[in-house]
Amino acid sequence: MTDSTGPAKDDLIVIGGAGGFIAGALAKYFHDKGFTRIRAIDKKPLPEWYQRTPGVESLCLDLSDRDNCEQACEGAAEVYNLAADMGGMGFIERFRVECLRSILINTHMIEAAYRAGAQRYFFSSSACAYNTELQKDPQVRALKETDAYPAMAERGYGWEKLLSEMFCEEYWHERGMKTAIARFHNVYGPQGTWDGGREKAPAAICRKVIEAKDSGDDNIEIWGDGHQTRSFMYIDDCTLGIDKIMHCDELIATPINLGSSELVSINTLADMAEEIGGVKLQRNHKLDAPLGVAGRNSDNTMIKRILGWEPDTPLRTGLEKTYHWIETQYNDRKAGKRTVS
């Protein structure tokens, strides 16, 4: 493992998209590690942020605007850009224009980071950048980093990620700014979207089990035949992995998978959620729902070789924590309290 020295504890760390799930957790992660100057930014008004860490400077700015990006990055030693208009399959298949427009955020943020003299820049890419032709079988072979090219990314969202990755590569090769690129594979956990249309499969299925229990209706809607496969990474593995990737010189300007390699079908995911909830539900398979690729898994050969580490929280363990957090959110909402989604 070739770790370089990370920032000093009083260096300014800028985090874009921090009103959302992963970047909100990242701000807390760095705060808990003892960093004293963290600037968190999101376009959502502050009361709508999923989590706000006391002691972290929180700004409401639209990062698709160049001037706002300059304001955000001023004085930054490190910039982590996780801001994007995104959601689960239901969102990214329906709102491709919105997904593509995230290119404005990435174009302006990387330039602003460069102009501000930031030492390192992190970009959150996605497994959706991989060639979709390789993901037509639920028993898919795990995707390795070279599988993005020849390119045939997920329409909209995936192509935007691929192009933004290229910006990161060229800002290093042409301009010498150290950039890091992680291709996240489905991230889940507490403090994530669990309702409203942008939620992803683990949160959606937990919520549906909770709703079914609450209403006494023992039916659950599952998108597709449930044989489609995915791997899911717990949020704590994601924040730790971002830190490790960002501070590894061997990985400068090199896209790398950040995901779990525990492949499960959506039916197995539903089994787990039912088991946690202590119910067995009747499944109604919605075959015309947006599904994305048939199968997708993360090949972790490269991350294990370079970092000597991979995301390893078992899905069952992470799902249990997520389920109980969503259950509390659900009950809070019923009681008229403010919740994340």
For tokens 């930054």, name the residue.
Answer: 76
Q: Mask: binding to ligand NAD, 121-160, rule CB under 6 A, as x and -? A: ---x-x----------------------------------
Which residue from 28, 37, 39, 43 is in contact with ligand NAD, where contact means CB under 6 A? 43
- 157 carries an active-site annotation: yes
Q: Which stretch binds ligand NAD (CB under 6 A): 56-64, 281-289, 291-299, 304-312?
A: 56-64
Residues 101-120 that bind ligand NAD (CB under 6 A): 105
Note whether 19 and 49 are within 8 A (CB).
yes
x/- map, 178-207, ligand NAD, by CB under 6 A = ------x-xx-----x------x-------
Size of residue set near ligand NAD by CB under 6 A: 25
> Which amino acid makes up residue 15?
I
Asked whether the beta carbons of 166 and 181 are under 8 A apart, the reply is no
User: CB 227 → ligand NAD: shortest distance, Å?
Assistant: 21
Nearer to ligand NAD, 212 or 245 (CB): 245
Structure tokens at 39: 């600037």
Element at 70 (helix H, strand E): helix 66-73
Q: Taking CB under 6 A as the criterion, which residues in 242-301 touch ligand NAD?
A: none
* Shortest Å, Cβ 62 to ligand NAD: 5
Q: How far is the CB of 237 from ligand NAD (least distance, A)?
A: 12
Query: Which residues make Cβ contacts (< 8 Å) with residue 170, sequence separation at least 6?
Result: none
CB of 17 to ligand NAD, least distance (A): 3
Residue nearest to ligand NAD (CB): 20
235-265 as b/e: b if 16+ CB within 10 A: bbbbbebbbbbbbbeebbbbbbbbbbbbbbb
Contact 30, 13 (CB under 8 A): yes
Q: What character string, x for contact with ligand NAD (CB under 6 A) and - otherwise, covers 60-89?
A: --xxx-----------------xxxxx---
In the complex, least distance from residue 69 CB atom to ligand NAD, rounded to whole angstroms: 9
Closest approach, Cβ 50 to ligand NAD, in A, equals: 7
Are the beta carbons of 129 and 186 closer than 8 angstroms?
no
CA distance 88 to 84: 13
CB nearer to ligand NAD: pick between 74 and 213:
74
Which of 6, 7, 19, 241 is the binder for ligand NAD (CB under 6 A)?
Answer: 19
> Which of 22, 110, 264, 273 is the binder for ligand NAD (CB under 6 A)?
22
Which residue of the set 29, 130, 157, 330 is catalytic?
Answer: 157
Residue 67's contacts (CB-CB under 8 Å, 6 or more residues apart) are none
- Residue 88: closest CA among 205, 219, 257: 205
Q: Which residues pair with 13 in a beta bridge?
A: 38, 78
The DSSP secondary structure of 232-292, one letter per residue, reads -EEHHHHHHHHHHHHTBGGGTT--EEES---EEEHHHHHHHHHHHHT---EEEEETTS---
Active site residues: 157
Give the footprint of ligand NAD on this chain (CB under 6 A). 17, 19-23, 42-44, 62-64, 82-86, 105, 124, 126, 184, 186-187, 193, 200
